[in-house]
Homo-oligomer: A and B are copies of this chain.
Amino acid sequence: METVLNYIKNNFSNYLEELKDYLKIKSISTLDEHKDDMQNCAKFVASKFESAGLENIKIFQTEKHPIVYADWLHQPNKPTILIYGHYDVQPVDPIELWKSNPFEPVIINKKIYARGANDNKGQNFVHIKSVEAFMKTKGTLPVNVKFLFEGEEEVGSTSLTKFIIENKKLLKCDALLISDTSMFAPNTPTITYGLRGLLYMEIEVTAANRDLHSGSFGGAVANPINELAKIISKLHDKNGKVTIPNFYKDVLPISKEEKENFKKLKFSDKNFAKELNVKELYGEKGFSTLERLWVRPTLDCNGIIGGFTEKGAKTVLPAKATAKISMRLVPNQDPKKLAKDFENYVKSISPNWVKVEVKMLHYGYPAMTSIDDPTIKAASNALKKAFKKDPVFTREGGSIPIIVDFMKQLKAPAILMGFGLDTDDIHSPNEHFRLENFEKGLLSSAYFINEMANI
């Protein structure tokens, strides 16, 4: 192992330069104008697979963005790790709040700033490079590996979901390794065993057939913004509970052990509130912040627009208003069932004087892995060696819906070994990744590959 680890340390600055090239590609999956960037990014990933010594590299075209596959399968008696990553990134708006160009990576104070620096290019790149380190020093790996990188994680992984079902044999594995979560705190190696699911809806409220003068028509006809606001205000009760019928019906209660575990993590509400610059945290009454984030479902407006939104005053009574609303789900909530409950509820509280349309944009199931799985033990050992510290076990508020599909279809445990921090501003302006965590990630990945040879 020593040679592999030394190789990584000696090549760290080269890896960083290569990562910068990866980050320069504007692979925003949700915006049509970046379709070509998505293709270029897939080609870039394939080229990195090749230089790492992987084989059977293939770019699969899909209805949206390509899936990139590669493997190395020369240890028939050893386990196979399937390493998943996504090369697509979130949009960059509000662009005016970025201190540097989101697609011109810069290193400031030992952090690399760029869209995707953390989520997920920086995190998935460590696994390509740890494999490369084995291949360049030893010409072989102690286990079998398969890499599968997609370009639609930020828009619901539609193509990959289909791809997994159709390629179960190609993807067969003993463990799934994903680095797309956060560490609980700086320098705290973390294994995440639970993820929330997602249900993303859109509501459009239409009143009149055209924008109207708010003086000539105000008072006579409904205002779609006022009506949309009323609908949104009815989605929570005064205790912060979601009011959609059956919303909590399938939610697993928190176990005593888990409650204790979370308490041990010594999470400070006060510091958290201070860091976000809010006077008070807010959420469902009766639960701690970590419980609200990890084991309780939530409902948030992600966007709203209607009428005149530029500077100044326009006295318009708009024709329509739209809101994007997403719910984070926990085991065993079913997003497909809840999408219908949501639609029915919203329609039931909509008045006759407006037309209300409800649409599902995407969804993903929540997921959990058993903490007793031998692959989790291997991950624990690897992190301990890389960080020289015992890892903590957490759940995560975010969603990687595709992981559920992997687990369901491939019947393999998922190991969520994240190297990002919650303060890294993913999905926000000035996303960044600490170089220290990039390096620890490289070492952890190498150790994990080594540990997995002995399970």
Contact = CB atoms under 8 A, between A and B. Distances in A.
20 contacts: A90-B316, A91-B308, A208-B278, A209-B277, A209-B278, A213-B426, A217-B422, A219-B297, A220-B281, A220-B283, A220-B397, A222-B280, A222-B281, A225-B304, A226-B232, A226-B235, A232-B233, A278-B354, A313-B361, A316-B428
Interface in A346-364: 351-355, 361-362
A293 interface: yes
Interface string A279-317: 111111000010011001111111111111111111111
Contacts of A91: 308, 310, 314
A30 interface: yes
Interface stretch (A2-10, A16-24, A101-109, A320-328): A320-328
A415 interface: no
A236 interface: yes
A314 B429 contact: no
A290 to B, nearest CB: 8
Given A94-B211, A216-B422, A280-B353, A427 B303 contact: no
Given A278-B208, A308-B91, A428-B212, A218 B298 contact: yes
Given A210-B428, A277-B209, A216 B304 contact: no
Interface residues of A, number: 102
B328 A219 contact: yes
A207 interface: yes
Given A217-B397, A278-B221, A211 B429 contact: yes
Given A233-B229, A353-B279, A309 B303 contact: yes
Give the oligomeric copy count. Answer: 2
B313 A305 contact: no
Contact of A301 (B182, B226, B300): B226
Given A217-B422, A218-B300, A226-B232, 12 more contacts: A156-B313, A209-B276, A212-B276, A213-B426, A214-B328, A216-B293, A216-B397, A218-B328, A221-B278, A222-B280, A222-B282, A304-B309
Contact of A229 (B154, B228, B307, B399): B228
A301 B292 contact: no
A272 B217 CA distance: 10
